[in-house]
Amino acid sequence: MVVGWKFVIVISTYLYLTANSIAFLDLYLTLKNPFYPRSKRQPFYLSALAIVMVISSYLLFRSIKVHGTTIRVYSSLQDKLTKKFLVFTLFLAAFTIVPATMALIRLRRKGTSKDLRKKVVKRYAIYFGFYLLMVVGTLMD
């Protein structure tokens, strides 16, 4: 039973991190080219979620096989599998921080209305704060 819950929690956490990464990437791409249809980017987003699900499932199955049913994913930094989880988590965090930073730079350009700037910063700054809490919580697991 513990294995099933561990699997659901870890996979959903990584899918959540990926979905947030995609949201910030989509924000940047929308600011870069507002008239490009979002529906054309959706297959890429769904593919990214599928790839993350496969990678995290593989790493989790290996973790369960090596460490048993312990709840901690990052049990020992000496372990190669634990390092892979850590690198994977940091990659997803970087995959969010880079597009979020690029979107903020894009918002500062001339020609961007103050109203749009205010709306985006208000919505996504809070969202980004919650995202960072989730990343830190994942790394502290």
Can you say how many angstroms the Cα of residue 108 is from the centroid of all Cα atoms in its chain? Answer: 24
Token pair of 68, please? Answer: 């048993």
Whether the per-residue pLDDT at 110 is higher than 70: the answer is yes
Q: Which residues contact 85 (CB under 8 A, 6 or more apart)?
A: 59, 63, 73, 74
Can you say how many angstroms the Cα of residue 39 is from the centroid of all Cα atoms in its chain? Answer: 20
Backbone CA torsion sign across 90, 52, 21, 43: positive
Q: Which residues contact 110 (CB under 8 A, 6 or more apart)?
A: none
Kindly report the pTM of this predicted structure: 0.74
State which residues form the domain around 82: 2-140
**Cβ neighbours, 10 Å, residue 126:** 10
Query: Smallest Cα–Cα separation from 98: which of 20, 42, 1?
Result: 20
Residue-level pLDDT at 107 = 83
Quick: pLDDT tens for 37-52: 888 999 999 999 999 9
Whether the per-residue pLDDT at 77 is higher than 70: the answer is no
Residue-level pLDDT at 141 = 62
Q: What is the count of structural domains for the chain?
A: 1
